[in-house]
């Protein structure tokens, strides 16, 4: 199937030329064709959901369903579990009142890699020692929240060129977007995605590094707020019309974080420690460093030299003791400009047995508690070799098939 082509910048056109040469296979990044190392264009799924067959039923089809009730502005606080260790409903609050949604069949949690483990632990399911410390009686001892993984990334790798791009007004960009064209149909303002294998890659054919090219059309103030860093560290003397940035993404991190309850109060945010770049052998930071070298090699090719592409010097006081562009400098740079790319997984890990770190079975059932499933990115046992959107879509469809096999009833909602 063919998707509309977004408008490309001159820099992206140069990468297209490079992509058709010896390094990358040029593809469109949508279903059924995913080579090992690729360059491609990204699209916003919500813009083309109907084309990609991911559009949910709308209008009368939903309104006429007797087995569906959607509650907005509602907050789940606990899964109700009876004396037989069987999930029988969900407690939630709405408009200052507490309710219990009763289920005659499975209760399915889909609150994400942070919300799902928090809800399980509030429901007396999780690491025994941690929950007992908070005064929670444990129904089922499971390693909930114990394997938080995310695609660690670095930002602020900026390049200047001799080419000036036209920067449209916000009104013009929105108008183009509504007509299915323009820069805003690029996902996250990322027109170019490159998957690479560094020399550190463990499995042939499986990329371990991703590079995202971003036009520098936002101000340093906006960028600093987005990345939660100081503005003075974000590209001094920026010229958004002639620059672009590269974000490097670690696809298979060795470092592992965790999620803990702060208290028994369901409205207290959990304690989240991502633990980025903490692996004892520094394998994660080495992959990111090798990725930077590949990016620098890429921009030192004839198509980019035509644009006089050059790395911008970024003043980073914390790294001034290291010689510029050496391995030690880049390690320092990565540690100071690393963050997540918002792909948390693994906190309700899928597997064969709790002794192997699993919380749910391959059928998404919570071990030791009947009629309870988890269906979201928290069940991913490993980091994906790309973004989590497509695997989540496929996992949701598979979860629906599991539910159809065991659920053929409706849910009652009663106040309490």
Fold match, 20-43+149-342 / 71-145+347-403: no
User: What is the value of pTM for the model shown?
Assistant: 0.83
Q: Summarize pLDDT for 16-35 with one digit per residue, the tens.
A: 555 444 444 444 443 334 43
Query: What single string gives the DSSP state of each residue in 47-70?
Result: GSTTTTT-PPP-THHHHT-TT---
Q: Summarize pLDDT for 51-93 with one digit per residue, the tens.
A: 344 445 455 577 778 878 889 999 999 999 999 999 999 999 9
For the record, the structure tokens of 354 come out as 């709790």
Select the more confidently predicted residue: 93 or 404: 93
Considering the candidates 163, 252, 331, 343, report the single residue annotated as catalytic: 343
The answer to whether 359 and 372 have CB atoms below 8 angstroms apart is no
Domain boundaries, the chain: 20-43+149-342, 71-145+347-403
The answer to whether 369 and 139 have CB atoms below 8 angstroms apart is yes
- Sheet arrangement for strand 87-94: 74-81, 87-94, 97-103, 411-415
CA distance 100 to 103: 10
The CATH homologous superfamily for domain 20-43+149-342 is Glucose Oxidase, domain 3 (3.30.560.10)
Is residue 343 among the annotated active site residues? yes
CATH topology of domain 71-145+347-403: FAD/NAD(P)-binding domain (3.50.50)
The lowest-confidence range among 148-162, 175-189, 308-322 is 175-189
Residue 43 in this model has a pLDDT that exceeds 50:
no
């Amino acid at each position: 199937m063919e998707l509309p082509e977004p408008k490309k910048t001159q820099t992206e056109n140069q990468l297209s030329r490079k992509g058709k040469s010896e390094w990358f296979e040029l593809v469109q990044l949508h279903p059924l064709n995913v080579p090992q190392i690729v360059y491609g264009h990204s699209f916003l799924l919500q813009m083309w959901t109907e084309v990609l067959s991911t559009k949910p039923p709308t209008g009368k089809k939903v309104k006429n369903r007797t087995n569906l009730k959607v509650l907005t502005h509602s907050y789940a606080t606990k899964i109700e579990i009876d004396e037989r260790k069987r999930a029988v409903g969900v407690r939630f609050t709405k408009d200052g009142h507490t309710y219990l949604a009763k289920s005659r069949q499975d209760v399915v949690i889909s609150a994400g890699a942070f919300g799902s483990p928090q809800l399980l632990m509030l429901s007396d399911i999780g690491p025994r020692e941690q929950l007992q410390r908070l005064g929670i009686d444990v129904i089922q001892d499971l390693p909930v929240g114990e394997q938080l993984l995310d695609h660690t990334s670095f930002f602020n790798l900026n390049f200047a060129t001799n080419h000036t791009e036209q920067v449209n007004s916000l009104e013009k960009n929105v108008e183009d977007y509504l007509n299915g064209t323009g820069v805003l149909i690029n996902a996250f303002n990322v027109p170019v995605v490159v998957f690479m294998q560094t020399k550190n890659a463990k499995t042939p054919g499986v990329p371990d590094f991703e590079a995202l090219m971003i036009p520098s059309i936002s101000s340093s103030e906006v960028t600093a707020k987005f990345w939660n860093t100081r503005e003075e560290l974000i590209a001094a003397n920026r010229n958004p019309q002639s620059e672009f940035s590269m974000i490097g993404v670690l696809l298979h991190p060795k470092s592992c974080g965790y999620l803990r309850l702060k208290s028994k109060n369901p409205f207290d945010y959990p304690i989240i420690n991502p633990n980025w770049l903490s692996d004892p052998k520094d394998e994660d930071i080495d992959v990111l460093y090798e990725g930077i070298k590949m990016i620098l090699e890429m921009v030192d090719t004839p198509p980019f030299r035509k644009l006089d592409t050059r790395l911008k010097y970024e003043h980073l006081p914390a790294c001034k003791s290291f010689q510029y562009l050496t391995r030690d400098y880049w390690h320092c740079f990565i540690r100071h400009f690393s963050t997540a790319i918002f792909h948390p997984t693994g906190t309700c890990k899928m597997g064969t047995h709790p002794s192997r770190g699993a919380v749910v079975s391959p059928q998404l059932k919570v071990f030791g508690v009947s009629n309870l499933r988890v269906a979201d990115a928290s069940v991913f046992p490993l980091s994906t070799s790309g973004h989590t959107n497509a695997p989540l879509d496929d996992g949701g469809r598979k979860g629906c098939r599991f539910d159809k096999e065991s659920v053929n009833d409706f849910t009652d909602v009663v106040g309490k």
